[in-house]
Each structure stands twice: as C-alpha cells, then as structure tokens.
Structure 1
Amino acid sequence: MVKKAEKNKKSAPPSIENRKARHEFHIDETFEAGIALRGTEVKSIRAGKASLNEAFAYLNQGEVWLKNMYIKPYEFGSYNNHDERRDRKLLLKKKEIRDIDKHINQKGFTLVPLKLYFKGGYAKIMLGLARGKKQYDKREDIKEKNVRRELDRKVKGTYSVNL
C-alpha cells in the first residue's frame, strides 16, 4: 500500500531562474504572465531543459513577446519539434500591458524574465520591470553578499579555526 501511494506522488516540475537578472538589474516591479507554448516545449520545460539567461521581453503592437529564451528540442519529438529560440507570446491583462508600456517608454527601463515555473498545470513566467545597475552597484552587492556569508559562518560556528 505504501509503495502505491508513493508512485502517485508526482515531483514538482522544476522552476527555472534567471540568476544573472538580479545581479545585472534593479528590479522595481514584477508581473506574472502566462506563456503560449507548444506541446514539445512544455515537455522539455517539465524535464528542466530550458534557460532564461539571454532572454528578454519586448512590446510589439500591444502584445508582449519573449525573445531568445532557450528551450531544448524534446528528445522524443518528431519532425514537428519546436524551434529552440523562437519568439513566444506572453499572456497578460490589458491593464498590465499598459502599465508596462508606460514604464518601458521611460528611459532606462527594460522587461526581464526572472523565473519560469508551473502553476496549476500552466506555465507561468515572472517578469521584472528593471533598470540596469552600474558597475559600482554590482561591486557593492558582491561585498554585501560576502559579509552576509561570513556572518552566517560565524553564527553557525563552522568558521575554520587553525589548531
């Protein structure tokens, strides 16, 4: 009986993150958008074979599109397999699109994908309305990260002691 219950439990599909985005940009606001995918793309994402590293979103005629997101072709797919870097339409409400358009028209703002995940069986993407960081901002973030790491080591007591 226990084995049968364990079989029915599905592991959660992986969430794919854009780690560089938080390092390269100041995120001012986030939006959750649906993403229009083909069947083989969904299967590849569920297998964790996707990357948001070089991806960005843009507006075109009142629609939001995601460009340069890599989804590996599904290994069991046929000749109908998808193009790995095609433009994908993002599904947002009109009010959200207007807000994004208003911000993007301001100097220095861009729309960056932060995370790709599944919610209720549907693929969702978290978009960040972002402003680029300067080099000194990036250095400050690295310093803060190192200080936090040192404090955590001291608190845990795993700080190396030479005896």
Structure 2
Amino acid sequence: MKSLKLILIICLLTTMSCTHKVVKKESINTICYIDSVKINASLREIILMYIHQHPSYKSYCLNNRTSKYYLNSGLKQKHINVDDRDDYVILSPTYSYKAECNNIKNQMPSCYFKLNGRLIFIASNSDFLRKLEVMDAPFKNKYVSNMSLKEYFSNSWLLEVDIFDGYVNIVKKNLWRY
C-alpha cells in the first residue's frame, strides 16, 4: 500500500511539473515600475490631456534627457525666460525612428507607470549610468509607434516643471522646427 501511494505521489508530481508553464522574461518586467499615485498631480493632468488628444499611440514617454542649459540658448532667442528653478520634460509617444535614421538604436526607458490603463515610460538623464539596453523587437512591436522625426516632434509637448513646488506647465505643444 505504501509503495502504491509513493508511485501515485511520484506520478502526480511528475504530471504537475510537466504542466508548469515557463515564464518568459518580458522586456517590460526588466523596467522599474512606479505607482502612478506618486506622480505629480499636475503632471498627471497634463498627461491625461495629452492622451485624450493623442489616443492612437501604443504608449507614451516622458523624456528629461533634454538639458535646460541646452534649451536655454534656444529659448532666449525666442524671448522665453528659462529659470534655474525649472526643469524641462518632453511628453511624446514612445517611438522608433522610421526610415531616415535606421542605424539609431533606441535605448530602453528606465521606468514606467500606468495611467488610465495606458503605459507611460520615463527616459531620464541617468540612463547613461545603466548598461546600454536596446529596445528589442517584442518590446517595439507591443509598445512603440514607428514614425518620422517630423511626426514625432509635431506630436511632442515641452513641459516646464518647477523643481521647488512641482507645478507643471505646458510651454509648447508642437516642437517641430523648435
């Protein structure tokens, strides 16, 4: 009787191990997740406005790789005040270059959060500290929109963030030729 129970247990364990699914390492699982509640409230409102105006994109991206000092020279020419109290972020679709820049490898964003069921990726200045991780094909197919640079910049917003009180302001809604 004991040997029958032992054989039955072994058969049961073998069957269970055969039906166990292998979990694939998905690209999104390698990125830091941030709870959207921790995102600045005025920034969340602007992102929701952006999503409402651009609902067809697969996902969205906040990119602060642009330096305010780089922007400073361009903004002074336009007579817009750039203050050291502020930082700048570009809100755009998550994109991959189409046609004109085939040799550019888009780097994986550092973090992401969900807002109303939509994914918003965060690409930051600190990404250079990480080992360069290029967006793979499954990630691109699921989350990235292919577009030209003109389409990308035409659908990007420049946001100004006051680093002391956190208030977010839309500086410009179309960055083409800006």
- The TM-score range, normalised by the shorter chain, is under 0.3
Considering fraction of residues, name the structure with more strand: 1
TM-score if structure 2 supplies the norm length?
A: 0.24
